[in-house]
């Protein structure tokens, strides 16, 4: 029975090999041609930022393919590395009962013998030795990395689509109304007064109060039409003062596309994050339950900070100008951001997207690989909050 299940290519029908190969090649060619045509479409539409994002995605796919190749090539040598059996039961994601630990390990060894018995047979020659990582575990790790990368790309693309939809629906409409306005300076003064209302009364200037108001403001009307018009005017005055008809909406779209190419990739520190939390997935720690709160906290923190920056601009204008006219300046500055670095916010957004992708990918992988009742999946009371937060 074991010989039948583990028969090599020498005793596999040629038509089976041919069918499997042609299916894999066809899928690969369709994916490659699809990405090529998508890149050509972006170039024809002069969407340079999206084209660069697509190139970044191809780099990630190449890295994923290289990781897959390494796992495949080195699965034999890795599975033949032997370690003491007492070390192999330390830091397990599922608890082994003391009475049944040896029986469980024996049963597991028997299953692995069918999957790739050479490694188990090699280590069984040494008393008290087991493989460092079985072929079955390597295969499952292989699948998890693929699911993680795919989920991250889907999450980033979804975020991009939602961002474009919001900018087109609201900000595009505002930009269009400004371009048709015969008296743009008069409109600016009206909205500048509304913008300065963000400063509020004297009690709003207290740090705790202003941060609390900014926290709740992010949930409704985070950027109003007055905010958009005033910040647009400040940008034009700073960067292109001679072009009052500058299309700020189009500039924001290009900026969104430029940022997208940064967040679609998986940087080295994100891979380090994956390794760290795979290490901490120990039975009884509920690591992934507590981990699910991290992106939510960071997301609320980033949203509050961005709202507070607009409030600080309004307070600065209110303190500096007693009379509001078309010359009243609004001066956005990098100093309003954490460590005077706006890029840090983009890194946090990148981390939030990836961490949430990691949560969902891990859940899907465990569900498809081990089933919903797996010990790694934990209890229902931990699963539901994780999914809701995600």
Distance CA 217, CA 302 (A): 13
Distance CA 375, CA 33 (A): 41
Which residue, 233, 379, 375, is CA-closest to 317? 233
Distance CA 320, CA 317 (A): 5
Which residue, 75, 71, 129, is CA-closest to 105? 129
Distance CA 137, CA 151 (A): 21
pLDDT one digit per residue (tens) for the chain, 390 residues: 444 455 677 777 888 888 888 998 898 889 888 888 988 888 888 777 677 777 877 877 788 788 888 888 888 788 788 888 888 788 888 877 643 444 444 444 444 444 445 555 667 776 778 888 878 888 888 888 888 888 888 888 888 788 888 888 888 888 888 877 766 565 567 777 777 777 666 666 778 888 888 888 888 877 888 888 888 888 888 888 778 778 888 888 888 888 887 787 778 888 888 888 888 888 778 777 888 888 889 999 999 999 888 888 888 877 776 555 555 677 778 888 999 888 899 899 888 888 888 888 888 888 888 887 777 777 777 778 877 887
Q: Rg (Cα) of the chain, in Å, rounded?
A: 28
Distance CA 35, CA 39 (A): 6
CB 294 within 8 A of CB 83: no
């Amino acid at each position: 029975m074991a010989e039948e299940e583990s028969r090599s290519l020498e005793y596999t029908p040629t038509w089976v090999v041919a069918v499997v190969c042609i299916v894999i090649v066809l899928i690969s060619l369709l994916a490659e041609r699809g990405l090529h045509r998508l890149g050509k479409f972006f170039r024809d539409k002069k969407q340079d930022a999206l084209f660069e994002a697509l190139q970044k995605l191809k780099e990630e796919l190449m890295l994923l393919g290289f990781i897959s190749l390494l796992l495949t090539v080195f699965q034999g040598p890795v599975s033949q590395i032997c370690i003491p059996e007492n070390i192999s039961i330390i830091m397990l994601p599922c608890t082994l009962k003391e009475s049944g630990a040896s029986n469980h390990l024996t049963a597991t060894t028997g299953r692995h013998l069918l999957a790739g018995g050479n490694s188990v047979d090699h280590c069984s020659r040494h008393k008290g030795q087991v493989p460092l990582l079985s072929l079955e575990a390597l295969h499952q790790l292989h699948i998890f990395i693929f699911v993680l990368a795919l989920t991250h790309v889907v999450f980033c693309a979804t975020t991009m689509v939602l961002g474009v939809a919001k900018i087109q629906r609201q900000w595009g409409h505002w930009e269009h109304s400004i371009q048709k306005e015969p008296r743009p300076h008069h409109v600016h003064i009206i909205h500048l007064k509304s913008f300065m209302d963000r400063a509020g009364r004297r009690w709003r200037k207290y740090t705790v109060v202003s941060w609390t108001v900014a926290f709740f403001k992010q949930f409704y009307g985070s950027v109003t039409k007055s905010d958009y018009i005033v910040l647009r005017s400040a940008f034009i005055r700073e960067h292109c003062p001679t072009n009052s008809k500058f299309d700020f909406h189009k500039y924001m779209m290009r900026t969104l596309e430029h940022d997208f190419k940064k967040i679609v990739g998986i940087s080295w520190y994100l891979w380090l994050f994956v390794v760290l939390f795979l290490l901490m997935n120990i039975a009884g720690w509920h690591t992934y339950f507590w981990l699910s709160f991290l992106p939510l906290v960071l997301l609320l923190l980033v949203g509050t900070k961005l709202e507070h920056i607009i409030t600080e601009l309004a307070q600065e204008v209110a303190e500096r100008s007693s009379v509001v006219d078309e010359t009243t300046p609004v001066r956005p500055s990098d100093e309003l951001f954490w460590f005077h670095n706006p890029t840090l916010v983009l890194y946090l957004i990148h981390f939030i997207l990836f961490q949430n992708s990691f949560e969902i990918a891990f859940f899907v992988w465990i569900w498809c690989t081990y089933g919903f009742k797996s010990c790694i999946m934990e209890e229902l009371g931990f699963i539901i909050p994780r999914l809701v937060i995600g």
